[in-house]
């Protein structure tokens, strides 16, 4: 008998909250469950946070269940207040349509949309044509304002001000679930922990209006051992689009995760078996770098393909382990205290003797003549931080042949 996918998700550390655990477990014990996860297309690329949701969809699909990827073309015009301290920027229909197209391409690397194995829908197709008065009369009576205001997504916005526009978001997302339930027999909504209140709204709406059974399941947000969200660098978000975050930068992000986060990331972001992950978990001290390399390669391979992952791995090894890196290379030590504040690239170019003036440094950067860890530096105001170091080292290159090693002190 095939293993229940609920057990797989739980063992790998995805599951956080369930509306009806026993019923969901029984439901997922047989193939053929239609479920959905929503993605608001507020940018032109998915990011690392979305990747966790994509992995859940893949595990569910491999167990015989049918994913619906809901693109929030309609709800994106309102903006989800969850996890926000300010109002999201409102996007045009054209921007949203472009972002949706970008999402579809990226999701296809993890989820199989061929032959009806998965669906993509856009809630703009039904939300934008709604009659407001009819919608409020039909849906509004099933929501208590007092109860809505206790939801975390609204509570944290009350002090700075919550607009009525955003207050509608929970009703819209709940209506999505109702629509998918009626049209596609979708009985399960999945989402990040920050979506718990919105998911509950949809489950209860279906039970009130349709007297039907619907369920919700949330999974953990991708956080490090200190509880901070992962997927951010000094340069911004870690995107799945190779034009926004190169495969090499993507590889290096995972290569440089803290030791305490390696096993968790392996479970959530790769298909490596739990038995093999347990073996990696036995590694200590410098040996953990082998686990980090495997993590970086596997995640990069899933997102960008094996060829790009192999190239990123080779580039990293050439930079940090190859013949080009030797004890004879000019070396400058930088204290962790300085790195904590960020050290300006122009200051470092002067300090290392690679440039004679900041003006020369700016010109070289403008001509793509300065590289940090194999990537061209394009911002003359870029500040080097701990995130730029691998195993305590970073490599600056001037032109094609002049290298300088930075060592974290």
Q: Are 355 and 349 in contact (CB under 8 A)?
A: yes
Same domain, 151 and 16: yes
- As a three-state string, the secondary structure of 366-394 is HCCCEEECCEECCCCCCEECHHHCECCEE
Same domain, 186 and 333: no
pLDDT for res 262: 96
Rounded to whole angstroms, the Cα distance separating 122 from 101 reads: 11
Higher-scoring residue by pLDDT: 401, 267? 267
Tens of pLDDT along 218-255? Answer: 998 898 888 888 887 656 789 999 999 889 889 989 99
Same domain, 39 and 126: yes
Provide the 8-state DSSP code for 87.
P
Domain boundary among 193, 219, 245: 219
Tens of pLDDT along 275-331? Answer: 999 999 999 888 999 999 999 999 999 999 999 999 889 888 877 776 555 556 788
Range of the domain at 348: 325-409
Confidence of residue 80 (pLDDT cuts 50, 70, 90): very low
Integer angstrom CA distances of residue 125 from 43, 75, 114, 388: 20, 11, 22, 44
* CATH number of the domain encompassing residue 56: 3.40.50.620
196 is written with which tokens? 């718990």
Q: Span 93-104, mean pLDDT?
A: 85
Listed range (71-80, 138-147, 262-271, 308-317) with the worst mean pLDDT: 71-80
Q: Are 173 and 198 in contact (CB under 8 A)?
A: yes
Instruction: Write out the H or E segment, with its range, that includes residue 296.
Output: helix 288-304
Rounded to whole angstroms, the Cα distance separating 140 from 198 reads: 14
Which residue has 């049209």 as its token pair? Answer: 183
Angle (deg, nearest 10), helices 169-184 and 196-209: 50
Same domain, 66 and 215: yes
Integer angstrom CA distances of residue 341 from 136, 380, 383, 385, 404: 51, 17, 9, 7, 21
26 HSE (CA, 13 A, CB side): 5
pLDDT for res 381: 93
Chain CA centroid to CA 404, Å: 33
Higher-scoring residue by pLDDT: 183, 314? 183
Same domain, 408 and 330: yes
Same domain, 56 and 179: yes
Determine the Cα angle at 340 with ends 336 and 342, to 5°: 110
Domain boundary among 200, 219, 238: 219
Task: Check pLDDT > 80 for residue 149.
Answer: no
Same domain, 53 and 193: yes
Same domain, 199 and 150: yes
Confidence of residue 190 (pLDDT cuts 50, 70, 90): very high
φ, ψ for residue 249, nearest 5 deg: -60, -40
401 is written with which tokens? 């042949």
Q: Span 100-110, mean pLDDT?
A: 89
* CATH number of the domain encompassing residue 285: 1.10.240.10
Task: Check pLDDT > 80 for residue 168.
Answer: no
pLDDT for res 215: 98
pLDDT for res 85: 43
Domain boundary among 262, 289, 322: 322
Rounded to whole angstroms, the Cα distance separating 308 from 342 reads: 30
Same domain, 64 and 201: yes
Same domain, 229 and 199: no
* CATH number of the domain encompassing residue 368: 3.10.290.10
pLDDT for res 178: 96
Same domain, 88 and 152: yes
pLDDT for res 27: 97
Please indicate, yes or no, whether the overall pTM of this predicted structure exceeds 0.75. yes
What does the mean pLDDT of the chain come to? 87
pLDDT for res 87: 44
Same domain, 63 and 192: yes
């Amino acid at each position: 008998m095939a293993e229940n996918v609920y057990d797989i998700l739980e063992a790998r550390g995805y599951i956080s909250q369930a509306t009806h655990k026993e019923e969901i477990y029984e439901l997922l014990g047989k193939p053929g469950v239609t479920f959905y996860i929503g993605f608001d297309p507020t940018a032109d690329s998915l990011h690392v946070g979305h990747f966790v949701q994509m992995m859940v969809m893949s595990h569910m699909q491999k167990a015989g269940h049918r994913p619906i990827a809901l693109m929030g073309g309609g709800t994106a015009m309102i903006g989800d207040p969850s996890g926000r301290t300010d109002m999201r920027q409102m996007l045009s229909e054209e921007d949203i349509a472009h972002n949706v197209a970008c999402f579809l391409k990226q999701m296809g690397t993890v989820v199989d949309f061929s032959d009806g194995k998965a669906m993509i829908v856009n809630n703009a197709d039904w939300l934008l044509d709604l009659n407001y008065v009819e919608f409020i009369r039909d849906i509004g009576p099933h929501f208590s304002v007092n109860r809505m205001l206790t939801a975390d997504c609204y509570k944290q916005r009350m002090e700075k001000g919550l607009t009525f526009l955003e207050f509608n978001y929970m009703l819209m997302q709940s209506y999505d679930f109702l629509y998918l339930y009626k049209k596609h027999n979708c009985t399960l909504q999945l989402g990040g922990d920050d979506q718990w209140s919105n998911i509950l709204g949809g489950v209860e709406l279906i039970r009130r209006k349709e007297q039907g059974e619907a369920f919700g399941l949330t999974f953990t947000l991708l956080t490090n051992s200190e509880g901070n969200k992962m997927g951010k660098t000094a340069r911004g978000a870690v995107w799945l689009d190779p034009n926004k975050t190169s495969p090499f930068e993507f590889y290096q992000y995972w290569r440089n995760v803290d030791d305490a986060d390696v096993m968790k990331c392996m479970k959530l972001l790769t298909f490596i078996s739990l038995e093999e992950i347990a073996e990696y978990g036995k590694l200590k001290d410098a040996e953990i770098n082998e686990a980090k390399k495997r993590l970086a390669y596997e995640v990069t391979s899933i997102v960008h393909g094996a060829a790009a992952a192999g190239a990123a791995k080779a580039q990293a090894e050439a930079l940090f382990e190859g013949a080009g890196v030797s004890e004879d290379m000019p070396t400058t030590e930088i204290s962790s205290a300085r790195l904590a504040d960020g050290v300006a690239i122009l200051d470092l170019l002067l300090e290392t003797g690679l440039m004679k003036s900041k003006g020369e440094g700016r010109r070289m950067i403008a001509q793509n003549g300065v590289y940090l860890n194999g990537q061209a530096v394009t911002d003359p105001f870029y500040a080097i931080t701990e995130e730029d170091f691998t195993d305590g080292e970073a490599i600056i290159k001037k032109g094609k042949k002049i290298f300088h090693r930075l060592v974290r002190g």
